[in-house]
Amino acid sequence: MHISMNHREGIIIRNVSYQEGDEIRLLFYRIAISEMVVPYADPFSPYNRKQAFDVGEYGFGRCANNLILGCDCVGSIYYFDADFNDHEGKVYRIDNAICLHEEDYGILMKHTDYRNNLSYSVRSRRLVTSQIVTAANYDYRVYYYFYQDGTFEYKIKATGILSTSVLTEDETPGGLGIMVAPQVNSQYHQHFFTKRIDPMIDGLNNSVRQVDVRYLDFPTGSIKNMNGNGFTAEHTTLKDTLQGQTNSNYDTSRFWKIVNQEKFHPYSQVPVGWKISSSHLAPLYAKHNSLVAERAGFLKKTLWVTPYDENQIFAGGDYCNQFSGKETLEVWTNSKVQDIEQKDIVVWYTFGITHLPRAEDFPIMPVEYCGFTMKPCSFFLRNPALDIGPTNTSINQSVFANAEKNGTCRSK
């Protein structure tokens, strides 16, 4: 892969591929944050203006921290500097803007044979590319994780200072926030992150399949569902940009797969692909005809699929702080119905946090996590991490609390 950074998107990952034996398989052409929106719940002036577009108005690159060894990143670290232009066009540098390192991430896979009590355990290591962004009061730790089994994960760790307002002694938040200190109100709000994913799963032409888990229609007691326990997975290929606007669905455990319909897995007999999922999905609670929804209409859906267009990079428009919503992802998608099946496509995926602050978030907030993962789904012939051997204490330096003793993760 190729790592870069610009003033608006911050870290950009390009040309991701996976070497399987002698073959290099293409995965993703470009992955970057497209927009971040933080709408607040208080409808009264002046707080109804709190609708920050932290990528388009401030920039994840320009707001990058100078990372400090042993504080922001620990272990064996490689840093990248970043060069930007100021308002006068002069070059300035942010030292240590990107951190690259590896870290242990628990068990990758394990099995114990109950017949003879023999076990096999392999620990996971992940490659981490990260930056920290300070956007006014909040600090966002941004992480791109690459795992040994092919999994890609994007994670935001939000911390920093709550946005608060002062109330009179007899005033209450009115159901729009919470008191975190005497006369200090912290308002309800949401954090939305829209990721632009430009895939090339085994080639440039890809499709998106929506997967919904359904109860079997056959009633309990019938021949085809005697005990009533049957369920199945329904796969729907999104064929055009109208179908390509879709929301999450808890009732059907919905997720999506980016697939190449020209290549099939020899065993599962389904197109090779990567599934995208998240446990951090939230609806936009602002009215869909509100000002923030007009400017950030892309928040109305969890996932959008569009044909590739080199001029369509930012979901909120090129100059979102000057736009009323005329040049956004929602407008592009609805202005003309276009084919997205087995085309050079772009996937736009939105996740986030509905933040109802706690007293424990004040005066400085502990980290709150959100993100999404992409996993190979009938892409590899088998588990691609089978070539990773078990670790041992001489490698990971683990010891008993009261004595040193070497061991291995494979029992004999």
Angle at 86 between CA 81 and CA 90, to 5 degrees: 85
Span between the terminal Cα atoms of the chain, in Å: 39
Residues known to be catalytic: 54, 138
Asked if 87 contacts 76 with a C-beta cutoff of 8 angstroms, the reply is no
Facing residues of 321 across strands?
none
Residue 291 phi/psi, 5-degree rounding, is -65, -45
The residue length of the chain stands at: 412
Measured between alpha carbons, how far is 217 from 219 in angstroms, rounded to an integer? 6
Six-digit token pair at 328? Answer: 């956004």
Measured between alpha carbons, how far is 137 from 161 in angstroms, rounded to an integer? 5
Cα Rg for the chain, rounded, in angstroms? 24
Helices (H), 142-297: 291-295
Asked if 381 contacts 340 with a C-beta cutoff of 8 angstroms, the reply is no
Measured between alpha carbons, how far is 264 from 268 in angstroms, rounded to an integer? 8
Asked if 39 contacts 293 with a C-beta cutoff of 8 angstroms, the reply is no
Six-digit token pair at 339? Answer: 């084919």
